[in-house]
Chains A and B, each alone.
Chain A
Amino acid sequence: MNESVPLVRVENLSKDFGAIRALHDVSFQLEQGKILGLVGDNGAGKSTLLNILFGRLQPSSGKIYFEGEEMRFKDPSDAMKKGVAIAYQFLELVEIAPLWANFFMGREITRKIGPFNILDNKKMKSLTQQKLSQYGFQTNVDREVRELSGGERQTLAVSKAIETNPKLLLLDEPFTLLSIEDTENLVTLIREINEKTSVSVILVSHTLSLIKEVSDCILLLKGGERAFFEAADSVSIDKMIEVICSK
């Protein structure tokens, strides 16, 4: 990919739900390997934007360019094929399934026995163990997700997303309900992943200090519209609060 072409460029994106205008005329771009902090109050349109970028929703108007090409993701599997991965606010893990099944959900490994494709459970378990260890998470991968702490679940969700080798990683409120220690660990993990793999990240969070610490640029949405889109070190937390709270 041409280094000068942004990984993602969004032009005049709008989304209506009947009479409700969730997004209106939003434009921004994200370079490869950069982290964009997406902030705004509840109902500002952050999750709507993420869902459009992941193919769960279709925009009402506007354009999305991915690696310079105009793109419209039909559904999540289409977005995943193009290199987009997401870890959701409410995690979207299967509580009563084991870790390894969650880790490989949708991308199960199989081996051929005669004409049949059979799950390679042993390989999936071993790879899950190995990959989670790389992210500092040592555990029995046969454990069910419901047995994990909040921080462990987030680590699993983010690790699962990153294992699809995405070009763009969408993180929707990953710090919600985490302890201070787990938050620090997750911030470190996001930074490491970004540095090692040059994956671009769009990070949604209400914790403005974390956004400012981690992000290269910040997009603030208000009432579905772009309030500002600037480099992170040129925006103060006070300014973000002022814009969010202004009438």
Chain B
Amino acid sequence: MAAARAVLRQVFGQYPMWILFLLMYICAGALMPDLLTPVNFQNTVVQGTVIGILSIGMTFVMLIGEIDLSIVSLAAFAPLMGVLSIQILGFPVVAGLVLTVVVGAGVGLLNGLVIEKVRIPSLVQTLATWWILAGVILVVTEGATKGGFPAEWNWLGSAYIGPIRAVLIFFVVFVIIVWYFSKNTKTGLRLYITGGNENSARAAGIPTTRIRILAFVLSGLIAAVAGYTLSARLGAVSPRFGTEWLMPAIAAPVISGVSLTGGRGNIINVVAGAYIIQLIVQVIRMAGIGGYYSELTQGLLVFVAILIDTLRRRMMGIQE
């Protein structure tokens, strides 16, 4: 009994966002019973994978107290480059996938180098990268959606392993790997330490510049992964890919307790935050709130979620 209480205390203490998500889902399901069917539940979870992956990438730069606005256009740019390498240059699909990830990491590296060596603020640099990549995408696609991907590229987005969507299994494995990296490797710990107090980390001999650049590399690489999973589900890449996910990708880590000034955050809770936002979006859509009111309602609900979380942490004495 005592052991069970200890487990419950740990779950409530460390993963409150998951409790909140489950409660919200149950309440939403009470109002809209369709949400509780296995098919709809799996659809909600699958649709949340893109916000989930983007939010995880954003978390890594937030851990060092920075931001990366370029993730949304990178989520379109990286898979576009991968697909073009297959369609135009005749690369095998695997090579196209590798190129997608390499492009993501490469853009992240460029962001990191400019921010750390040239000392341009991350907000400015990644905004510029966002616009540049968005422009390149428009030039390359001429504003049109690009489709006609090979079946192997789309496999992850459409296949099932037993009753479960392959993309969902991929997402779970991805989250476990990233969480394990953040909590159990020297580099993961040093990301937190560098974000918590860069001077202290540097004085202790930690190569903080390298760590900070790595955060942007991870953000870029993960944005590419997010873009690939979406392109695999849709069988297409659109110039408008990802623009609606920037605010959720920022909001999800914030409401999950990731500190905007760096040094604090839990990947598992970030995933819960992403699903809370995805649930809000889904409920709004299912409630028939469309058009101009949809984005307004989403923004207000996310604002309320951030406000509640800020007040909660202030009550707990966690200072920003």
Taking a contact as CB atoms under 8 Å apart, the answer to whether B193 and A97 are in contact is yes
CA distance A86 to B205 in the complex (A): 12
Given A93-B197, A96-B196, A96-B263, residue A76 in contact with residue B203 (CB < 8 A): yes
Taking a contact as CB atoms under 8 Å apart, the answer to whether B204 and A105 are in contact is yes
From B180, which residue of chain A is reached at the shortest CB distance? Answer: A118
Taking a contact as CB atoms under 8 Å apart, the answer to whether A105 and B206 are in contact is yes
- Cβ proximity bits B184-207 to A, threshold 8 Å, 1 near / 0 not: 111011101100110111111111
Q: Does B259 contact A (CB under 8 A)?
A: yes
Taking a contact as CB atoms under 8 Å apart, the answer to whether A95 and B184 are in contact is no
Given A101-B193, A106-B205, A106-B206, residue A94 in contact with residue B200 (CB < 8 A): yes
A residues near B212, Cβ cutoff 8 Å: none
Taking a contact as CB atoms under 8 Å apart, the answer to whether A86 and B203 are in contact is yes
CA distance A247 to B189 in the complex (A): 50
A residues near B192, Cβ cutoff 8 Å: 97, 101
Taking a contact as CB atoms under 8 Å apart, the answer to whether B201 and A118 are in contact is no
CA distance A76 to B197 in the complex (A): 16
Q: Does A77 contact B (CB under 8 A)?
A: yes
Range of interface residues on B (Cβ < 8 Å): 20 to 34
Q: Does A181 contact B (CB under 8 A)?
A: no
From B200, which residue of chain A is reached at the shortest CB distance? Answer: A92
Docked complex: A69-83 residues within 8 A CB-CB of B = 76-77, 80
B297 CB, nearest partner CB in chain A, Å: 34
A residues near B206, Cβ cutoff 8 Å: 105-106
CA distance A149 to B204 in the complex (A): 22
How many pairs of A and B residues are in contact by the CB < 8 Å rule?
Answer: 65
A111 CB, nearest partner CB in chain B, Å: 10
Taking a contact as CB atoms under 8 Å apart, the answer to whether A92 and B264 are in contact is no
B234 CB, nearest partner CB in chain A, Å: 35
A residues near B264, Cβ cutoff 8 Å: 96
B266 CB, nearest partner CB in chain A, Å: 13
Taking a contact as CB atoms under 8 Å apart, the answer to whether B263 and A119 are in contact is no
A residues near B204, Cβ cutoff 8 Å: 76, 105-107
A58 CB, nearest partner CB in chain B, Å: 15
B135 CB, nearest partner CB in chain A, Å: 39
A residues near B184, Cβ cutoff 8 Å: 118-119, 121
Q: Does A117 contact B (CB under 8 A)?
A: yes
Taking a contact as CB atoms under 8 Å apart, the answer to whether A92 and B186 are in contact is no
Taking a contact as CB atoms under 8 Å apart, the answer to whether B185 and A117 are in contact is yes
- B interface majority secondary structure: helix
Taking a contact as CB atoms under 8 Å apart, the answer to whether B189 and A101 are in contact is yes
Taking a contact as CB atoms under 8 Å apart, the answer to whether B197 and A92 are in contact is yes
A residues near B188, Cβ cutoff 8 Å: 119
Q: Does A110 contact B (CB under 8 A)?
A: yes
Q: Does A56 contact B (CB under 8 A)?
A: yes
A97 CB, nearest partner CB in chain B, Å: 5
Taking a contact as CB atoms under 8 Å apart, the answer to whether A108 and B263 are in contact is no
CA distance A118 to B182 in the complex (A): 11
Taking a contact as CB atoms under 8 Å apart, the answer to whether A97 and B263 are in contact is yes
Taking a contact as CB atoms under 8 Å apart, the answer to whether B200 and A93 are in contact is yes
From A109, which residue of chain B is reached at the shortest CB distance? Answer: B186
B233 CB, nearest partner CB in chain A, Å: 31
CA distance A76 to B189 in the complex (A): 20
**Contact among B189, B199, B207, B319 for A108, CB-based, below 8 A:** B189
Taking a contact as CB atoms under 8 Å apart, the answer to whether B259 and A96 are in contact is yes
Docked complex: B245-282 residues within 8 A CB-CB of A = 259, 263-264
CA distance A127 to B9 in the complex (A): 26
CA distance A219 to B35 in the complex (A): 75
Q: Does A88 contact B (CB under 8 A)?
A: yes
Taking a contact as CB atoms under 8 Å apart, the answer to whether B203 and A56 are in contact is yes
- Cβ proximity bits B292-314 to A, threshold 8 Å, 1 near / 0 not: 00000000000000000000000
Closest 10 CB pairs between A and B? A106-B204, A77-B205, A94-B196, A92-B200, A105-B204, A106-B205, A94-B197, A108-B186, A96-B263, A97-B196
Given A106-B204, A119-B183, list of 11 further CB < 8 A pairs? Answer: A56-B203, A76-B202, A80-B205, A92-B203, A94-B196, A97-B196, A106-B206, A108-B186, A108-B190, A119-B186, A146-B319
Q: Which residues of chain B have a CB within 8 Å of any CB of chain A? A: 183-186, 188-190, 192-193, 196-197, 199-207, 259, 263-264, 318-319
> What would 18 A/B residue contacts be, using CB atoms closer than 8 Å?
A54-B203, A56-B203, A76-B203, A77-B205, A92-B200, A93-B200, A94-B196, A94-B197, A94-B201, A97-B193, A97-B263, A105-B201, A105-B204, A110-B186, A116-B185, A118-B184, A119-B184, A119-B185
Q: Which residues of chain A have a CB within 8 Å of any CB of chain B? A: 54, 56, 76-77, 80, 86, 88, 92-97, 101, 105-108, 110, 116-119, 121, 146
